[in-house]
């Protein structure tokens, strides 16, 4: 069995789909871009705990990416771009395996 790797998660973009919010969301005037993250935020998942959500990380976004983080920590791809499944205000993340 090979050694495990840490994985760095960097927030790349916070998108905001005003047109979709106005068309489908309740109370569209109260929506804002995702308040959980800022572009450039960095989180690191340790090599021995790839299932542990980083402190301060959104639980919904973590649920969307934790399988890929686990795979990368076990030697999967070097880099991967993913996003959370919030269709109104998705956040895009760069995942990087730290060798």
Would the pLDDT of 84 be above 70? yes
The token pair at 49 is: 């705990």
Summarize pLDDT for 28-48 with one digit per residue, the tens: 999 999 999 999 999 999 999
State the pLDDT at residue 1.
53
Question: In Å, how far are 12, 49, 74, 80 from 98, measured between CA atoms?
Answer: 18, 14, 11, 12
Q: Are 69 and 50 in contact (CB under 8 A)?
A: yes
Summarize pLDDT for 12-21 with one digit per residue, the tens: 999 999 999 9
How many Å apart are CA 23 and CA 16, to the nearest integer? 13
Enumerate the β-bridge partners of residue 38.
none
How many Å apart are CA 41 and CA 28, to the nearest integer? 27
pTM: 0.93
Summarize pLDDT for 49-78 with one digit per residue, the tens: 889 999 999 999 999 999 999 999 999 999
């Amino acid at each position: 069995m090979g050694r495990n790797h840490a994985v760095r998660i960097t927030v790349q973009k916070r998108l905001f789909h005003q047109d979709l919010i106005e068309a489908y969301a309740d109370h569209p005037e109260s929506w804002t871009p995702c308040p959980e993250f800022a572009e450039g935020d960095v989180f690191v998942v340790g090599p021995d705990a790839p299932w542990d959500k980083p402190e301060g990380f959104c639980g919904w976004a973590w649920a969307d990416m934790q399988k890929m983080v686990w795979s990368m920590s076990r030697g999967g791809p070097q880099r991967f771009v993913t996003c959370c499944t919030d269709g109104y205000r998705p956040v895009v993340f760069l995942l990087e395996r730290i060798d």
